[in-house]
């Protein structure tokens, strides 16, 4: 019977589990933080606050109040091309915007 090298031979060096741990640490070092919600691909609350701070001319987003819930709701239902995810979402957004205009007037 010939040995094809598939037997249990003790090998020197690192085991497979140690290599995967090293690879995971290397990959973790290379990862960058992304301010996009991974479930929807939309800007996170932090990114929305930063955009509002830049628009209002404030140096730090921490000085602003958080965005209203309806703005976050609208942003979550807006596709990257600017369209709403569904017709019912568009109808609700129209109602929200008209209500917001009435209260601010």
Nearest to 61 by CA among 45, 72, 50: 50
- Residue 4 pLDDT > 80: no
* Tokens linked to 95: 């109602």
Return the pLDDT at 19.
52
Which is higher by pLDDT, 16 or 27? 27
pTM, two decimals, is 0.42
Per-residue model confidence as pLDDT tens digits over 18-71: 555 556 666 665 554 445 566 666 666 677 777 777 777 777 766 667 778 888
User: What is the DSSP secondary structure assignment for residue 14, as one 8-state letter?
Assistant: -
Return the pLDDT at 71.
84
Which is higher by pLDDT, 90 or 49? 90
């Amino acid at each position: 019977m010939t040995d094809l090298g598939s037997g249990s031979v003790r090998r020197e060096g690192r085991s497979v589990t140690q290599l995967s741990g090293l690879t995971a640490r290397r990959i973790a070092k290379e990862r960058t933080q992304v301010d996009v919600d991974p479930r929807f691909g939309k800007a996170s609350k932090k990114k929305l606050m930063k955009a509002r701070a830049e628009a209002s001319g404030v140096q730090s987003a921490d000085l602003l109040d958080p965005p209203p819930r309806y703005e976050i709701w609208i942003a979550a239902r807006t596709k990257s091309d600017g369209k709403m995810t569904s017709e019912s979402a568009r109808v609700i957004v129209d109602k929200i915007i008209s209500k917001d205009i009435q209260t601010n007037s």
